Amino acid sequence: MSSRLKLRTVVADTSALVCLAVPRADAAVDTDAPDPLQYLLTSCDVFVPSEVVAELHDITQYQDIYAAATSNVLAARGHYTARLIYDYARNGYMTTEAARTLLTVISPHRSWDDSPYVAQLVALLEQ
């Protein structure tokens, strides 16, 4: 991690945690690709409200990539969004290329392909 200031505390919601865990749950993604959930869990203190934990347990009941991603989140619980990935690149915690790769991997799983917000973040990464 760079010598820049560390984020102090993040209050994570269900969608953000699942989203950040998707790349490791997707068998088509190279395991050498950056792990955004790991970046989050190692860069700050993560607070997960009990309501979010309950929602995560509910999601694991399904048989899809989100259930697999959620299982990874719950497995990392002892350590515990597109903007977060952008912020990591901007602050030097990952390269802009790695951030673009993560956004590309996560997008089809989170319906981000047509998101103007995500498009804006990608454009900012290219500046």
pLDDT one-digit tens code per residue, 55-109: 999 999 999 999 999 999 999 876 666 777 777 888 888 888 888 888 888 888 7
Between CA 97 and CA 58 the distance in angstroms is 34
Q: What are phi and psi of 3, to 5 degrees?
A: -85, 5
To the question of pTM greater than 0.75 for the whole model, the response is no
Q: CA nearest 86: which of 38, 44, 120?
A: 120
Burial status of residue 25 (CB atoms within 10 A of its CB: 0-12, 13-18, 19 or more): buried
Side chain identity at residue 101, one-letter code: T
